[in-house]
Amino acid sequence: MLWVVIAIVVVVVLLLLWLVAMFNRLVRLRNRAENAWAQVDVQLRKRYDLIPNLVETVKGYAAHERQTFEAVTQARTAAQQAQGVAQQAAAETALTAALGRLFAVAENYPQLRATENFQQLQAQLSDVESNIAVARQVYNDTVLSYENALETVPTSVIAGIFNFRPREYFQTEDVTREAPRVSFTEPEAAPTAPPAQPAEPPAS
């Protein structure tokens, strides 16, 4: 009988070790997803910090475009107050659309587009948008790994026992997939017609 008891103890220990290993795997995946989202949030906040200066710069040349400036400010506030990944994605889409309209206004002011301050802000925004895209991809990849663990056996069993919840993907509209771009070069002048040749004197 002793060997039966030993066998049962070994099986129980192995089962417990397996349970701990699966649980720890789920915890690691969940923590990676949370950390990846934190990195997205860092990049989003950098964009929020750039927007007030950008609005003020454009306002100095186009003060009458008050509706556009208010739309950007309201979209920024909504993005900062968004709760949850899905709401954040919708708010970021609206913010980028508002920024696109702001840059469309800037297109009408060559002197504004030629200023060093505006060019620096646009370049910084472009860099931040690129970083957001990278951070979003890392987050979504991490969530995919976590979701796969939640939905496949045997980790799905452990997830159900310990109430591991799925996470949302950070899906945005196409408008946020590229940073707004502005050309700082003047449009090329249309080619001018060659000067007319002087008429030949009439033959004598």
Residues 6+ apart with CB under 8 A from 1: none
pLDDT given at position 102: 95
Q: Tell me which DSSP letter residue 161 carries.
A: H
Q: 170: alpha, beta or left, given left = phi > 0 and alpha = psi -120 to 50?
A: beta
Residue with more model confidence, 4 or 48: 48
Kindly report, residue by residue over 32-49, the tens digit of the pLDDT.
999 999 999 999 999 999
Average pLDDT over residues 130-140: 96
Separation of CA 149 from chain center: 25
pLDDT given at position 114: 92
pLDDT given at position 187: 41
Q: What CATH class has 2-19+38-176?
A: mainly alpha
Tokens of 49: 């910090």
With 0-12 / 13-18 / 19 or more C-beta atoms within 10 angstroms meaning exposed / middle / buried, residue 170 is buried
Residues 5 and 173: their CA atoms lie apart, in Å, by: 61
What are the structural domain ranges in the chain?
A: 2-19+38-176
Q: What is the 3-state secondary structure (H, E, C) of 11-57?
A: HHHHHHHHHHHHHHHHHHHHHHHHHHHHHHHHHHHHHHHHHHHHHHH
Residues 173 and 175: their CA atoms lie apart, in Å, by: 5
Does the pLDDT value for residue 175 go beyond 60? no
Q: Name which of 138, 55, 43, 165 is nearest 92 in CA terms.
A: 43
Whether omega for the bond prior to residue 154 falls within 30 degrees of 0, making it cis, is yes
Q: Name which of 184, 199, 145, 162 is nearest 31 in CA terms.
A: 145
Separation of CA 188 from chain center: 34
Q: Name which of 9, 26, 39 is nearest 164 in CA terms.
A: 26
Does the pLDDT value for residue 199 go beyond 70? no
